[in-house]
Amino acid sequence: MDLTQYLDTTAETVDKVISRHFGNVYGDLFQAGAHLLLAGGKRLRPAVVLLAADAVKKNSADDVMLAAIALELTHTFTLVHDDIMDADAVRRGVPTVHTLWDEPTAILAGDVLYAKAFEFLTMTEASDRAKVHAVRMLGKTCAEICDGQSMDISFERRGDVTEPEYLEMVQKKTGVLYGAAAAIGGLLAGANPIQIDALYQWGINSGIAFQIQDDLIDLLASTEATGKDRASDIREGKKTLIAIRAREKGIDLAPYQRELTADEIDEVIALLGDAGVLDEVRAAAVERATTAKRALAILPESEERQLLTDITDYFIERGY
């Protein structure tokens, strides 16, 4: 099976399970909690949980389905809370929870999803020992994600963000949840500590590669392809790896922190391209992806291991 097929099939199954558990919830609060969860999405983190389990032990994906849902619940809770902080009005093509309901409801809706994530993790088919390990890992991961979001917000007020700081933020905000998804899928299926660590490293590095590619897409991809404004990061002065490398090369992006015409965006792209920034940033994403894929080598060869590798490639090859 190729990756697109696999992800489509899995997303359909995950959607069904989510709909079964959250499609008919009662009361305003639980409907608010289910809102974004039911709005779809690529369900990448559940797919990673399922693939990691199968890569460790054939045919164990079904057993860890509720853990896969737990990871999607966790992801969704962070989105609901982030949308409040970032005052974002639209997510996954639907109005955000705090705009459709209100801010208190959105805080509580995120908190409910958070609770459900841990509840679902305990309901999965696995040894109690593995479940306790998984809960501890998810707890640690959630605290790190919060730290990543906090760093991201604090970067807005700073002009001197360094590359290590950026990488730490991205690792926490995006990497660790992919790391936890892979490691939890694996450990619930009976992975040994070395395999668990390899899966975690795969996830962290894939997640970082994903985020770096996201920064490139924001600048380079057309609005038609992404559905977002082109170069919004530059306009908002976001501290991306592109911005940090540009600063190191003495390129001043401050004049571009305003509404930009298509020609002006092309001008910035040319400026960054000529200075080698874009190639360097692309290389950084490729390097992370390589590290991620290399980590998987200790797992036995399997279709699922290959699909994990394909996910990493997809993260850095996607154009939007």
CB of residue 97 to a copy of itself, shortest distance in Å: 13
CB of residue 149 to a copy of itself, shortest distance in Å: 6
What single-letter amino acid sits at 172? K
Question: Which of these ranges, 126-134, 158-166, 204-212, 254-262, lies near a copy of itself under the rule CB under 8 A?
Answer: 126-134
Q: What is the rounded CA–CA span in Å between residue 126 and residue 63?
A: 7
CB of residue 227 to a copy of itself, shortest distance in Å: 26
Helix, coil or strand: residue 83: helix
Q: What is the rounded CA–CA span in Å between residue 156 and residue 233?
A: 11
Answer yes or no whether residue 146 interacts with a copy of itself by CB under 8 A: yes
Q: Which backbone phi and psi does 91 adopt, to 5 degrees?
A: -150, 135
Handedness of CA 2, 177, 57, 67 (dihedral sign): negative
Burial 1-28 (b: 16+ CB within 10 A, else e): eebeebbeebbebbbebbeebbeebeee
Question: Which has the closest alpha carbon to 32: 102, 114, 83?
Answer: 102
Question: Which of these ranges, 23-31, 209-217, 300-308, 309-317, lies near a copy of itself under the rule CB under 8 A?
Answer: 23-31
Nearer of residues 120 and 178 to a copy of itself, judged by Cβ: 120
Question: Which has the closest alpha carbon to 9: 39, 70, 50, 38?
Answer: 50
Answer yes or no whether residue 81 interacts with a copy of itself by CB under 8 A: yes
Nearer of residues 153 and 283 to a copy of itself, judged by Cβ: 153
- From candidates 112, 170, 253, 299, binder to a copy of itself by CB under 8 A: 112
Binding site for a copy of itself (CB under 8 A): 27-30, 81, 84-85, 103-105, 107-108, 110-112, 114-119, 121-123, 127-129, 131-133, 135-136, 138-143, 146-147, 149-150, 153-154
